[in-house]
């Protein structure tokens, strides 16, 4: 039984080592037309985000700058299963269409960061 437990623990450690770390996309958004952004862009982009399996970590909210230039008037952070999943969402037709709408109402800076593997 001790050998089985040790083998099981080793297998779990191996699986954890092979798992891809999560990824986070950060969107810094300067909203120029809040009404259009909220009405026309957010419903479309949120549908694509949900379909991609991402989860909001931060969506808007108060920001506080500690060093350097303050962020624009809106910041969003999304968590994806992996950097590959984040890239697939970004390149997806649904997101590309949402971006065309969003560009009418805001300026965006969006990037992804690979998180720590657990």
Domain count across the chain: 1
d(CA 76, CA 52): 16
Instruction: Give the residue numbers spanning the domain of 28.
Output: 20-114
Residue 3 lies in a domain: no
pLDDT tens, per residue, the chain with 118 residues:
555 555 565 555 555 556 889 999 999 999 999 999 999 999 999 999 999 999 999 998 888 899 999 889 999 999 999 999 999 999 999 999 999 999 999 999 999 999 998 7
Tokens of 1: 């039984």
pTM of the predicted model, to two decimals?
0.79
Considering the domain boundaries, does residue 50 fall inside one? yes
Which helix (H) or strand (E) segment holds residue 74: the answer is strand 74-80
Q: What is the CATH number of the domain that holds 82?
A: 3.30.70.100
Q: Are 31 and 108 spatial neighbours (Cβ–Cβ below 8 Å)?
A: no
66 within domain boundaries: yes
- Does a structural domain hold residue 59? yes
87 lies in some domain: yes
Inside any domain, residue 15: no
Q: Is residue 10 part of a domain?
A: no
Give domain status of residue 9, yes or no. Answer: no
Q: How far apart are CA 69 and CA 73, in angstroms?
A: 12
């Amino acid at each position: 039984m001790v050998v089985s437990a040790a083998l099981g623990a080793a297998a779990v450690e191996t699986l954890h080592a092979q798992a891809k770390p999560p990824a986070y996309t950060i969107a810094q958004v300067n909203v120029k037309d809040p009404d259009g952004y909220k009405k026309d862009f957010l419903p479309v982009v949120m549908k694509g985000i949900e379909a991609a399996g991402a989860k909001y970590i931060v969506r808007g909210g108060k920001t506080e700058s500690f060093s350097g230039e303050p962020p624009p008037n809106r910041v969003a952070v999304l968590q994806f299963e992996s950097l590959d999943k984040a890239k697939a969402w970004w390149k997806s037709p649904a997101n590309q269409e949402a971006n065309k709408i969003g560009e009418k109402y805001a300026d965006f800076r969006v990037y992804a960061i690979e998180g720590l593997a657990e």
